[in-house]
Amino acid sequence: MTRITVHLAVYDTFADWETGHTTAHLTQNGFTVRTVGLTTDPVTTMGGVRVQPDLALADLDPADSALLILTGAHLWDAGNDLAPFAAAARTFLDAGVPVVAICGATAGLAREGLLDDRDHTSAVSFYLAATGYKGGEHYREADAVTDGDLITAGPTEPVALAREVFAKLGVYEGEKLDAWYRLFHDSDASAFAVLES
């Protein structure tokens, strides 16, 4: 496996629409997306899609990955079932490998202590405050926030999340990155010509 492999965490109730832009455009630009579950048993997304994980979390190594993506899911707020994914995020960040968290996954990272000293965002500040974390002063009212190797976004911002990922991994830069965002976020058809140039 090479460092152009991106790992998408999959678990029951994961919000499958939150990373569609990210994974589709990474794949179109030379990255391989592999799914990782707690085990290799099938999971069912919030949208009712069954997914067979490519590998189990115990076999995930940051050295084999360019990025770990954590989506929202009902399970983030229903107990500790997904805590191992937050622990994996810590391992990735400690190894200097970027981590993406959107929606409920931000609460998982907050509980793990990973947002205590990093700028971040989420659905709303009081959602994260309810976790008891200590990072409230680092909360930013923004569509998506990148702080070092951590990218966070709220549940309504899959396009802004993708933009941050593309910038971090060098998929699109400068004018092309701006055009991609204008096309998919603002429905600005004039941006298409820039992307095709």
Whether residue 75 contacts residue 44, with contact meaning beta carbons closer than 8 Å, is answered with no
Return the structure tokens found at 134: 């200590």
- Give the torsion sign (CA, 63, 95, 66, 83): positive
Catalytic residues: 103
DSSP class of residue 14 equals B
Q: How far is CA 106 from CA 49, 52, 55, 185, in A?
A: 23, 24, 23, 22
The DSSP code sequence of 127-184 is HHHTTT-S-GGGB--SSEEEETTEEEE-TT-HHHHHHHHHHHHTSS-HHHHHHHHHHH
